Structure 1
Amino acid sequence: MERRTQQERRETTERALLTAAADLVVETGLRSVTLAEVGRRAGYSRGIVTHHFGSKQALVSALVRASQAGFVPGVDEVAPGLERLLVLVERYLGAVGRIGSLSRAFLVLWAESVASPELGPLFRERDELFRADIVADLEAGRAAGDVRSDVDPPVVAAIVVAELRGLALQYLVAPDSIDPATAGRALRAHWQAVLS
């Protein structure tokens, strides 16, 4: 049997802890997340959670970053510009229909961030980065002549983020109310028509 390196063991433990934290968030929100409960749920002690993350805030911050990473597959393979934005819009909503507990936890925490002094700054930063990526795509699209010159990139970016997150939350609350893949295709067509 092949022995795992210390780094591989650390990554496995962190994944288990983040998954346990995500499950707790999805079940009952942030209030249920304690270092002790995360450790118990993952099959470890509270001490291992403290060792890996140090605090609840650091754990939640790591959970948010981990849940957002790789949510929309293949977007990074498309060059910046209008097509990349359209791929993002369509695949984001397509991914919503297949999300696991990490991504569900992200959306639950995002909704909770409205009234949370712990989460508010973290999600303002994440949303700012998300909007900045969209602005960069719009500016690249304008430079290439694919996006109309009268488009206001920051305004469009804010609307796109609101649409994507809002539709994702709607799906989580009432899965029968929306088919994410169909919504993704419709939103892609909408933005192509509006921006071109």
Structure 2
Amino acid sequence: MSGAAVDAASGAPRRGEPRPKAAATNQQLRQQAVDRMIEAAIALIAVKGAAGLTLVDVGRAAGYSHTLPNYYFKSKNELLRQAYGRSVGAFRRRSGAWRRQALRAPVRDDALFSTMLAYVHGGCADPAGARAVNLIAAEAVTSLPGLLPEVRLQNERMLALLQDRIEAGACGTGAAEAPASIEALLVLAALRGLVSQHLLGVPAADVDAAVRMLHGFIEGGPAGGRSAA
């Protein structure tokens, strides 16, 4: 029997030939199922909110048994926590990618200004994800208090980033009149409102103009805001 025949009979690849890919492990299959259910949850939350979501709905929407979400997540609160974290993480990656791309273009290299624009564009690029994040955050304050720790953590991180940007570029009368922490609070509230306006149908160009004006107010007070627009 030739060597080639032996190889064929044994099922082993001949010398120099690539080995076939190993079958997905149980861990990989588990992660795929978890990912599909989280994405299904995000899509459902964007349509019907978080409070009305059920694990049964998620299992069916993901194409699995209606009992599988309960097996993997154990509770609705844990599924919502992971869905919120997934949406926030995706938003940050989109915003970061937009900011890096924008800084390569011939636009002014201002850390606060580019961060503000990146926030808006990151939110507007994924309407379903933005709606899911906003709905979970809103319902955490009302009907889903178990999610408050996670929502507060993400909120504090964004406020800290904006405060850092404001302090790094502090100049003009606007920066001198108010603490950076207060300015960061106002900026974040305004940016969230702009994303919501975009979801309601306000053109992206108007949102960008609003960001420029808001940045002008922070940089130099009302006069700066009018000139920036």
- Category of TM-score, reference length = shorter chain: 0.7 to 0.9
| Cα 1:93/1:140, change in 2 over 3 Å | same
Work out the number of aligned pairs and report it: 188
How big is the shift at 1:102? Answer: 2.8
CA distance in 1, matches of 2:164, 2:215: 16
Percent identical across equivalent pairs?
Answer: 27
Please name the residue that 1:124 is paired with. 152
Q: How does 1:1-196 map onto structure 2 within 5 Å?
A: 2=21, 3-71=23-91, 72-74=95-97, 83-116=110-143, 117-142=145-170, 148-172=175-199, 174-175=200-201, 178-192=202-216, 194-195=218-219
How big is the shift at 1:37? Answer: 1.6
Please name the residue that 2:223 is paired with. none
Structure 2: gaps (5+ residues): 1-19, 104-108, 221-229
How big is the shift at 1:110? Answer: 2.3
* Per-residue Cα deviation, 1:9-66 (whole angstroms, up to 9, x for no partner): 3332222111111122122112331112211111122443233322111111111111
| Cα 1:87/1:14, change in 2 over 3 Å | farther
CA distance in 1, matches of 2:177, 2:27: 50
1:118 aligned counterpart, secondary structure: helix
How big is the shift at 1:192? Answer: 4.4
| Cα 1:194/1:100, change in 2 over 3 Å | closer
- Aligned partners of 2:98 and 2:122 also within 8 Å: no
- Aligned partners of 2:42 and 2:129 also within 8 Å: yes
Normalised to the residue count of structure 2, the TM-score between the two structures is: 0.69
Q: Which moved more, 1:186-195 or 1:126-135?
A: 186-195
- Aligned partners of 2:49 and 2:135 also within 8 Å: yes
Comparing both chains, which one has the higher relative contact order based on Cα–Cα distances under 8 Å and sequence gaps of 6 or more? 1
CA distance in 2, matches of 1:184, 1:52: 42
2:96 aligned counterpart, secondary structure: coil
- For 2:158, the aligned partner's letter is F
| Cα 1:55/1:122, change in 2 over 3 Å | same
Q: Between Structure 1 and Structure 2, whose CA radius of gyration is higher?
A: 2
2:117 aligned counterpart, secondary structure: helix
- Aligned partners of 1:53 and 1:59 also within 8 Å: yes
Normalised to the residue count of structure 1, the TM-score between the two structures is: 0.78
- For 2:203, the aligned partner's letter is D
| Cα 1:49/1:149, change in 2 over 3 Å | same
- Aligned partners of 1:40 and 1:46 also within 8 Å: yes
CA distance in 2, matches of 1:122, 1:102: 17
2:146 aligned counterpart, secondary structure: coil
- Aligned partners of 1:86 and 1:191 also within 8 Å: yes
